[in-house]
Amino acid sequence: MLKNEKNALIMVDIQNDFCEGGSLAVEDANSIIPIVNKISNKFHKVVATQDWHPADHMSFASNHKGKAPFDTIKIDDREETVWPDHCVQGTKGAMLHPDLDQKPIDMILKVASDVNLDSYSAFRENDKQTITGLDGYLKRLDIQHLFLVGLATDVCVLYTALDATELGFHTFLIEDAVRGIDKPEGRVKKAKQRMQDAGVRFLRSSDIK
């Protein structure tokens, strides 16, 4: 793989609240940051996504009486998980992790800023209708190959990968540069199987030359 090839690295939600000490910390999340930093300058384009919620966002359990984090609710016939408050706009928790090298990043894409919509995919909100614009941005640049790193394997990385393949991108998961929530246990394994079934190919950071 060469930098002058039309490829892109998508850094999914490498933010303080998903890392050590954060309100929705993913176990071992910080360990991916040196790996991402090592490979991020090898890509033609780099996009970082940033969960960017208003304080009254529908995905927060605190905004639903009687609901606890990881419970489910019904929104417009969709079953949605509710979470601890996280990545609130303008807070330290919403910022990209300070150890992440931001110099190679060409674009930061803020997602899930609509109070009534959550977004697991970097390409579209959970209603499957509202688009983020990432697809158009990449296709205008003639990007055909996408490489995914970040958090969490079984949520935002998963749905970004599934949408990427559906939209026609050749999609790769860099396995040692993602971490998952895995609650209940087995979610990460199922997520990886879903990605493989959709055509996502797996590789390691050492394969990026």
pLDDT tens digits, one per residue of 33-78: 999 999 999 999 999 999 999 999 988 989 999 898 888 898 777 8
Alpha carbon 150 to its chain's center:
6
pLDDT (tens digit per residue) in 156-165 = 999 999 999 9
Look up residue 53 and give its DSSP letter: B
Among 78-82, 117-121, 129-133, name the one with the lowest average pLDDT: 78-82
For the domain made up of 7-51+100-207, give the CATH fold. Rossmann fold (3.40.50)
Amino acid at 2: L
CB-count burial class (<10 Å; 0-12, 13-18, 19+) for 186 = exposed
In residues, how long is the chain?
209
Percent pLDDT > 70 in the chain is: 98
Closest residue by Cα to residue 137 from 94, 108, 159: 108
What order of strands is seen across the sheet that includes strand 170-179? 107-111, 45-51, 7-12, 145-151, 170-179, 201-203
Q: How far is CA 16 from CA 25, 87, 91, 140, in A?
A: 8, 8, 10, 31
Query: Given this model, what pLDDT does residue 110 score?
Result: 96
- What's the pTM? 0.93
